[in-house]
């Protein structure tokens, strides 16, 4: 154990943050009052809700969000049709000045969205002149209604590069480009952003999706007076996808820029996973919508305890530490095999493992009806581990490596009558070709 508290501070493009936890550009960062409250709770910085010049009016639909619940779990995902800030630019810039005066050690990252070269330059200069420590260029909002904005720019690589270059020439503060996940290879636009001069990359913005369809009115949600739309989807359900994009960016040799990670972060464990695959800071929206700004207290405490327990003094030392272990599937050692292992003293006899193994696994379980316990036939076990995913007793089923030379049964024993019937039936395809 460490004798003193670990250092959670992060240097990101020369801007110092007390910890890696930032508000993202979203409904949770819409005013100085909201941001001040978050700073008091422990958030180290803010990516302010995206600013526009005001030349094109922003009007939000009503209602503007819909929750995706899964079973008893509330808000596994959130669909959002809210656009960028509808507040006057002057009001947002005054908020910057207020926050810099009262919270000078909490960096402000101004998120911007222009609709022309002049727009981008004007917004960048205005944000810098009014106290922004850094800029985030929103090339990624998936439901902007103004042509030539949002993720449409993020999918037009040369336009993304051009806008980044315009902004870089206009300001002296660092510039971060925010990537859309609505694309096949996220490293491609990121490299174009680097060519335009970007100092860092933020990812991911929300994924285009449909969270729900009303079964009575047949309207996708949110139902805006009889009309639904594909729009941004966020929350815990997108975290595995977001982690993959962050890792791709971090491993891209042509990029080599610091990364701010976004997507489904609610706990210190979520945040730590982002750090381990290459993010230096993390941004949060849906977690705050679900639980409020207070979740940062647990994030700070949990991450600090994790560092202390492992004798690590600086959180910065964790960034990217999982990447050497992240390879393509052809790097797996297929000579090493294993099976599921059951701690039957803890078994409650529910039979869920039997059901899933028979219907979706290797049919490797037999059932002792008197004792209500499974028995594993080891040489039939596929080590898929789906039995452990459905078992209600945490840790009862684990993975066990088998000795070198052990072999899994190649074919399952078939019912004799079915085997005979199959032998008589002609194959639909000539397998000799």
Tell me if 10-325 shares its fold with 333-413.
no
Cβ(232)–Cβ(257) below 8 Å:
no
Q: CATH number of 333-413: 3.50.30.50, 1.10.3720.10, 3.30.70.20, 3.40.50.800? A: 3.30.70.20
Give the pLDDT of residue 4: 82
Give the pLDDT of residue 156: 77
Rg (CA), the chain: 26
Give the pLDDT of residue 145: 60
CA 47, chain centre distance (Å): 17
Q: Are strands 10-12 and 231-234 parallel, antiparallel or unpaired?
A: unpaired
Give the pLDDT of residue 432: 53
Band (278; pLDDT cuts 50, 70, 90): very high
Q: Where are the domains of the chain?
A: 10-325, 333-413
Give the pLDDT of residue 413: 56
- The predicted-structure confidence for 40-89, as pLDDT tens digits, reads as follows 999 999 999 999 988 778 888 999 999 999 999 999 999 999 989 999 99
Give the pLDDT of residue 126: 98
Which of these, 280, 339, 267, 343, lies nearest to 306 by C-alpha position?
267
Q: Please give the average per-residue pLDDT across 392-413, as a whole number.
A: 90
Give the pLDDT of residue 58: 86
Cβ(203)–Cβ(242) below 8 Å:
yes
Q: What is the DSSP letter of 364?
A: -
Coil, strand or helix at 84: coil
Cβ(67)–Cβ(77) below 8 Å:
yes
Mean of the per-residue pLDDT values of the chain: 93
Coil, strand or helix at 350: coil
Greater confidence, 9 or 140? 9
- The predicted-structure confidence for 300-315, as pLDDT tens digits, reads as follows 999 999 999 999 999 9
In sequence order, what are the beta bridge partners of 109?
47, 134
Task: Return the number of other C-beta atoms located less than 10 Å from residue 250's C-beta.
Answer: 25
Q: Any idea which residues carry the catalytic annotation?
A: 141
CA separation for the pair 62, 82 (Å, rounded):
9
Given the structure tokens 């720019």, which residue do they identify?
Answer: 153
Cβ(246)–Cβ(183) below 8 Å:
no
Cα angle 399-403-406, degrees, rounded to a multiple of 5: 100
CA separation for the pair 351, 427 (Å, rounded):
37
CA separation for the pair 294, 299 (Å, rounded):
9
CA separation for the pair 345, 353 (Å, rounded):
15
Coil, strand or helix at 113: coil
- The predicted-structure confidence for 174-212, as pLDDT tens digits, reads as follows 999 999 999 999 999 999 999 999 999 999 999 999 999
Band (24; pLDDT cuts 50, 70, 90): very high
Cβ(77)–Cβ(68) below 8 Å:
yes
- The predicted-structure confidence for 144-158, as pLDDT tens digits, reads as follows 666 566 677 778 799
Could you tell me what percent of the chain has a pLDDT over 70?
Answer: 92
- The predicted-structure confidence for 204-251, as pLDDT tens digits, reads as follows 999 999 999 999 999 999 999 999 999 999 999 999 999 999 999 999
CA separation for the pair 226, 224 (Å, rounded):
6
List the strands of the sheet with 73-80, edge to edge.
65-70, 73-80, 231-234, 207-209
> Is pLDDT at 430 greater than 80 in this prediction?
no
Indicate the CATH number for domain 10-325: 3.20.20.70
Greater confidence, 54 or 253? 253
Handedness of CA 81, 84, 88, 93 (dihedral sign): positive
Band (412; pLDDT cuts 50, 70, 90): low
Q: Please give the average per-residue pLDDT across 331-352, as a whole number.
A: 97
């Amino acid at each position: 154990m460490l004798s003193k508290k670990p250092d959670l501070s992060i240097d990101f493009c020369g801007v110092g943050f007390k910890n890696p936890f930032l508000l993202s550009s979203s409904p949770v960062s819409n005013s100085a009052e909201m941001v001040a409250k978050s700073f008091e709770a422990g958030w180290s910085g803010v990516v302010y809700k995206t600013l526009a010049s005001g030349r094109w009016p922003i009007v939000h639909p009503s209602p503007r969000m819909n929750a995706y619940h899964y079973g008893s779990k509330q808000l596994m995902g959130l669909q959002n049709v809210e656009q960028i800030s509808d507040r006057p630019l002057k009001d947002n810039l005054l908020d910057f000045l207020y926050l810099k005066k009262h919270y000078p050690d909490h960096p402000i990252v101004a998120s911007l969205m222009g609709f022309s070269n002049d727009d981008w330059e004007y917004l960048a200069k205005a944000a810098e002149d009014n106290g922004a420590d850094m800029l985030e260029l929103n090339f990624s909002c998936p439901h902007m209604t103004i042509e030539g904005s949002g993720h449409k720019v993020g999918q037009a690589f040369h336009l993304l590069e051009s806008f980044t270059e315009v902004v870089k020439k206009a300001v002296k503060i660092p510039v971060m480009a925010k990537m859309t996940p609505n694309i096949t290879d996220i490293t491609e636009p990121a490299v174009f952003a680097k060519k335009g001069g970007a100092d860092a990359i933020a990812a991911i913005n929300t994924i285009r999706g449909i969270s729900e369809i009303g079964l009575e009115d047949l309207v996708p949600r949110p139902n805006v007076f009889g009309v639904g739309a594909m729009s941004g989807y966020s929350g815990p359900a997108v975290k595995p996808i977001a982690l993959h994009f962050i890792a791709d960016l971090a491993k891209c040799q042509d990029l080599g820029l610091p990364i701010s990670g976004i997507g489904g972060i609610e706990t210190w464990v979520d945040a730590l996973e982002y750090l381990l695959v290459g993010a230096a800071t993390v941004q949060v929206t849906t977690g705050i919508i679900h639980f409020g700004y207070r979740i940062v207290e647990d994030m700070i405490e949990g991450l600090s305890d994790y560092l202390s327990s492992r004798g690590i003094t600086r959180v910065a030392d964790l960034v990217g530490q999982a990447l050497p272990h992240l390879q393509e599937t052809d790097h797996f050692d297929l000579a090493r095999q294993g099976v599921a292992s059951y701690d039957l003293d803890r078994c409650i006899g529910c039979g869920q493992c039997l059901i899933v193994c028979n219907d979706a696994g290797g049919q490797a379980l037999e059932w002792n009806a008197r004792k209500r316990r499974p028995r594993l036939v080891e040489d039939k076990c596929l080590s898929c581990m789906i039995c452990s995913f459905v078992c209600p007793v945490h840790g009862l089923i684990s993975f066990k490596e088998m000795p070198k030379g052990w072999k899994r049964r190649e074919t399952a024993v078939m019912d004799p009558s079915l085997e005979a019937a199959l032998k008589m039936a002609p194959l639909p395809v000539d397998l000799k070709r």
